[in-house]
Amino acid sequence: MTIRSMTAFASAQGSSGQHSWSWDIRSVNAKGLDVRLRIPDWLEGLENTTRSALTKALARGNVSLALRITRTEDSAGQVQVNASVLQSVVKALGEAQSVASQNRVEISPATAAELLSFKGVLEQSAGDDDPGPLVALLGKELETLVAEFVQMREAEGAALATILNGQLEQVAALTVQAEERAEERKVKMAETLKANLSRVMENAEGADPDRVAQELALIAVKADVTEELDRLGAHVAAARDLLGKGGAVGRKLDFLMQEFNREANTLCSKAQHSGLTAVGLELKTVIDQMREQVQNIE
């Protein structure tokens, strides 16, 4: 399986007999799968077919699909008034007029043109022909459109995977640098602790040497970053494994980014060494960049 991006676009055009149409499908990142369709109501069954095809092919993303279809003038359906919608509009306008009158506000009466401009008042019928053959034709074309859309998501995903693998290489290299800085810090920390212990013992009559030594040892343990560096290495391996497996791994990668960030923050807070702090800050920068890329992965 391959990595897919949640950002993609595809379109198609076609015609048959009296009809011509255009498809437009696009998606952006989202926590789950949200499919929004704009398909003419008179194409019975096509919306369900389309929704089913998209939910089967995709795992995440905010997906919008629109189908625009037209007929030649000599075969177009008749424009007619939807009486129930018109009645609702007139009733609403009457209530508005009543409220305005009670508040001594003058409202001009609506013209016929204004009434007809309300959404749903005017409808264009699909004509007398059976939409079944057209729905079947559009359904077949939809399969090709969805396949092209998925291919684009995969192409974008491959580019994202390349970027992320490069960033993981940076994290791995910075982790090695952090290990080197931590080793350098050990010598200085040992010297500092010995000096502190000597000063404490010289200025603290009656102090228990063993107790003081235990406290200083505890300080050293709290400043140790070995576990953070080991976990960073494990996270790099886990992220590479997910990218290698492919599929809908965006959520897992996003969780890993949180773990990466946690270890980098802890590393910086424990550093007490300019070189180690600098590496920790570089790690945070690369991790933030990775997280931005991961937000687009399905």
Same domain, 104 and 147: no
Amino acid identity of residue 35, one-letter, is: V
Same domain, 171 and 227: yes
Structure tokens of 247?
A: 């599929």
Same domain, 94 and 61: no
CA dist., res. 141 & res. 31, Å (int): 29
Q: Is residue 3 part of a domain?
A: no
CA dist., res. 39 & res. 198, Å (int): 82
Sign (positive/negative) of CA torsion 66, 14, 16, 142? Answer: negative
Same domain, 19 and 118: no
CA dist., res. 226 & res. 48, Å (int): 55
Q: What is the CATH number of the domain that holds 246?
A: 1.20.140
| pLDDT the model gives residue 107 | 80
> Do the beta carbons of residue 1 and residue 247 sit within 8 Å?
yes
Q: Is residue 1 part of a domain?
A: no
CA dist., res. 185 & res. 191, Å (int): 10
Give the model confidence (pLDDT) of 160-171 as tens digits: 999 999 999 999
Domain count, the chain: 3
Q: Is residue 34 part of a domain?
A: yes
Reading across the β-sheet that carries 33-38, which strands appear in turn?
8-16, 19-28, 61-71, 33-38
Q: Could you tell me the residue range of the domain that residue 64 belongs to?
A: 8-72+129-154
pTM of the model: 0.71
Same domain, 18 and 142: yes
Same domain, 149 and 16: yes
Same domain, 66 and 91: no
Domain boundary among 113, 138, 154: 154
> Do the beta carbons of residue 250 and residue 298 sit within 8 Å?
yes
Same domain, 47 and 23: yes
Q: List strand residue ranges (DSSP E) for the chain, in order.
A: 8-16, 19-28, 33-38, 61-71, 79-81, 122-124
Same domain, 68 and 55: yes
Q: Is residue 227 part of a domain?
A: yes
Same domain, 179 and 233: yes
| pLDDT the model gives residue 206 | 57
| pLDDT the model gives residue 156 | 96
Q: What are phi and psi of 99, to 5 degrees?
A: -65, -40
> Do the beta carbons of residue 18 and residue 167 sit within 8 Å?
no
Give the model confidence (pLDDT) of 22-35 as tens digits: 999 999 999 999 99
Same domain, 141 and 16: yes
Q: Which of the residues in the chain have pLDDT under 50?
A: 75-76
Q: Is residue 2 part of a domain?
A: no
Same domain, 149 and 116: no
| pLDDT the model gives residue 85 | 86
